[in-house]
Structure 1
Amino acid sequence: MDMTTIVVAASIPSAFTGFCFWLIEQNLKKRADNEKEEREERQKQLDEREQIREKNELCIINSVNAAIALGEATARAVQRIPDAHCNGDMHAALDYAQKVKHEQKNFLNEQALKHIIEEGEQTS
């Protein structure tokens, strides 16, 4: 056996092993890319759900505000009727509705301020 035959015989298993590792590496890279795309798609769906949830909460808040406004308007209209005898419950309910409305407004303002501050800190 001459030297060339020995070198060729030794290089064939090395080349085969290198080719196998290259195939494995390509397979892993392909799998990682697929998983990345799936994660991005899931995140997109989660972001869409979050936007829908936020819109729903805003609708609920607006509905509550509308109901309170309607209740206040009704209570004030009933108070103006001369023959209507409003008991203490009507006045207490009106006071409570105003208190809740202001508490909700203060809470939402506080949350908005926190959000603005957090956004400012993230951009800095």
Structure 2
Amino acid sequence: MKHKFILSKMPVMLVTTMLVTTLILIGCETEGDRGVMATGDAEISNESVQQKVHEEPNFEAIVLHKNESTITVSPTKSTEQQYILGTTGVDYSAQIGDVVRVWTTGQYEDSYPSRGVATQIDQVK
């Protein structure tokens, strides 16, 4: 008799458990998480990017391609690796074939070519 009572209440208990778990998980998100979920973007501010600029460049590279919002480079020490770097807000004058020093945020997408964000680009040659 006891087992029959428990089995009849099982769906109610399952729904209640799922509801409580969902509410707990929603309460754990941060304000930053809500912004990312709403826009689909991490909304990196220019100030936070500038804080990540290293004193030394991440690498020297040869410019392979560029357009108004990205630059594709290949580090001079590793011709097999290439990076497509976002350059929005970065002032640089390098042309295709130039050697440049590149500063980045240090965060890259796991793809080929790797994708990241440049924070500073200086022409070497």
TM-score normalised by structure 1 residue count: 0.31
The structure with the largest helix share of the pair is 1
TM-score normalised by structure 2 residue count: 0.31
